[in-house]
Chain A
Amino acid sequence: ELKVEQNPLFLSMQEGKNYTIYCNYSTTSDRLYWYRQDPGKSLESLFVLLSNGAVKQEGRLMASLDTKARLSTLHITAAVHDLSATYFCAVEEYGNKLVFGAGTILRVKS
């Protein structure tokens, strides 16, 4: 059974600082996704990572994948308040089924 662990589960950071969210998973998978969720809203797709060494960047967010270590990271550069949200990683199990991590609540303080 595929298990996905995220850490930290809660992250409070100052504007302008850098930080990294980690996502570990237990079995081999072809795809890993990062989603963002704002309070009371649905999930917004951020990145999909398909292969070992894949790196995707959008604005202040950069995601990477190490399939050998079964580890993905979401790096936040020079955080701004608008990045406050909950971030989920999700790993594809068989048949397109996604197994989600518990989510990381990010709060960026001015």
Chain B
Amino acid sequence: GAGVSQSPSNKVTEKGKDVELRCDPISGHTALYWYRQSLGQGLEFLIYFQGNSAPDKSGLPSDRFSAERTGGSVSTLTIQRTQQEDSAVYLCASSLVGTHTDTQYFGPGTRLTVL
């Protein structure tokens, strides 16, 4: 595809439910990132996948958050037992690591609202 795509674009859920957010990176990009954007915290790094290496999970805020990347392409971010403070826009980005700039290209985001 032309760019990073994410689905759904909006998700409203009830507190305590689990949610899955999907990211399709730019074809051929080796690295995939998840960030969260909220009014109180700004833009925060969550997790980073690069090739077959173990992911960098250092930004995940709690063990309710997990992410997978299957086949080196599509990624799913799962939030279990959602809380109201999880409400935010979840942004996915991808890059071609090893290039001169390693620019991260962002998707449109998933707006998550936890009621």
Chain A contact residues, CB within 8 Å of chain B: 31, 33, 35, 41-45, 48, 50, 88, 90, 92, 95-103
How many A-B residue pairs lie within 8 Å, measured between CB atoms? 54
Top 8 closest pairs, chain A to chain B, by CB: A100-B43, A43-B106, A48-B101, A42-B106, A42-B108, A97-B45, A102-B42, A45-B103
Secondary structure call for the B interface: strand
Residue of B43, B48, B58, B108 touching A96 (CB-CB under 8 A)? B48
List of A residues within 8 angstroms of B107 by Cβ: 42
Cβ of B91 under 8 Å from chain A: yes
The complex places the Cα of A88 from the Cα of B106 at a distance, in Å, of 13
Q: Is the CB of B59 within 8 A of A103?
A: no
Cβ of B78 under 8 Å from chain A: no
The complex places the Cα of A41 from the Cα of B31 at a distance, in Å, of 22
Residue of B33, B50, B91, B97 touching A42 (CB-CB under 8 A)? B91
The complex places the Cα of A88 from the Cα of B102 at a distance, in Å, of 17
